[in-house]
């Protein structure tokens, strides 16, 4: 019985050591998905923002959102200037939530704001925690 407990604690210790690397994995995965929201608006890829609209006007609020999501997401994907970019994108998601989703109702599950709320908190976390070890921000001699 003692061997099982030691094996489990050994496994937990090894998994815990991956915490900072998983921080980088989370950043990369979420940034990729965030970029897709931007490319949808700017390029109509992988699909347009709505069935009748291929792309949004570049000089509009949605166009600015698409620019921030595409290029800010790319910076976060590579972990470059992560803290300020993540803070800026958290602000964008707060604006999106309060301007677009909250007027439709209080609950994020009902007002379509689940993604905006989650992105807000994830980017706020990265603005404080940084990119993690697998990033351009963490390269030696920076």
pLDDT > 70: what percent of the chain?
A: 93
Where is pLDDT greater, at 98 or 15? 98
Smallest Cα–Cα separation from 68: which of 98, 107, 94? 94
What pLDDT does residue 3 have? 61
Question: Cβ(68)–Cβ(89) under 8 Å?
Answer: yes
Which of 10-14, 67-71, 127-131 is predicted with the least confidence, judged by mean pLDDT? 10-14
Smallest Cα–Cα separation from 133: which of 15, 18, 2, 14? 18
Task: Kindly report, residue by residue over 95-106, the tens digit of the pLDDT.
Answer: 999 999 999 999
Measured in degrees and rounded to the nearest 5, phi and psi for residue 48 equal: -70, 165
Question: How far is residue 83's CA from residue 125's CA, in Å, rounded to a whole number?
Answer: 9
Position 78 pLDDT exceeds 90: yes
H-type alpha helices, the chain = 2-16, 19-43, 61-67, 73-78, 82-96, 108-111, 114-129
Position 1 pLDDT exceeds 60: no
**Prediction pTM value:** 0.89
Q: Can you give the residue ranges of every domain in the chain?
A: 20-129
How many C-beta atoms lie closer than 10 Å to residue 60's C-beta? 11
Position 60 pLDDT exceeds 90: yes
Computed over every residue of the chain, the mean pLDDT equals 92
Cα of 110 vs its chain's centroid, Å? 21
Collapsing DSSP to helix, strand or coil, 53 comes out as: strand
Question: Cβ(38)–Cβ(67) under 8 Å?
Answer: yes
What pLDDT does residue 25 have? 98
pLDDT band at 142 (very low <50, low <70, confident <90, very high): low
Task: Kindly report, residue by residue over 26-57, the tens digit of the pLDDT.
Answer: 999 999 999 999 999 999 888 877 766 678 89
What pLDDT does residue 135 have? 98
Position 121 pLDDT exceeds 90: yes
């Amino acid at each position: 019985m003692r061997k099982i407990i030691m094996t489990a604690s050994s496994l937990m210790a090894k998994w815990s050591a991956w915490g900072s690397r998983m921080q980088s994995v989370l950043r990369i995965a979420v940034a990729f998905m965030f970029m897709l929201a931007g490319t949808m608006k700017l390029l109509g890829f992988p699909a347009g923002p709505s069935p009748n609209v291929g792309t949004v006007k570049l000089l509009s609020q949605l166009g600015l959102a698409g620019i921030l999501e595409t290029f800010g997401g790319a910076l976060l994907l590579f972990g470059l200037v992560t803290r300020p970019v993540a803070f800026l994108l958290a602000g964008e998601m707060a604006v999106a939530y309060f301007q677009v989703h909250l007027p439709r109702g209080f609950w994020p599950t009902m007002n379509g704001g689940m993604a905006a709320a989650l992105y807000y908190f994830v980017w706020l976390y990265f603005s404080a925690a940084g990119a993690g070890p697998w990033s351009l921000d963490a390269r030696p001699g920076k």
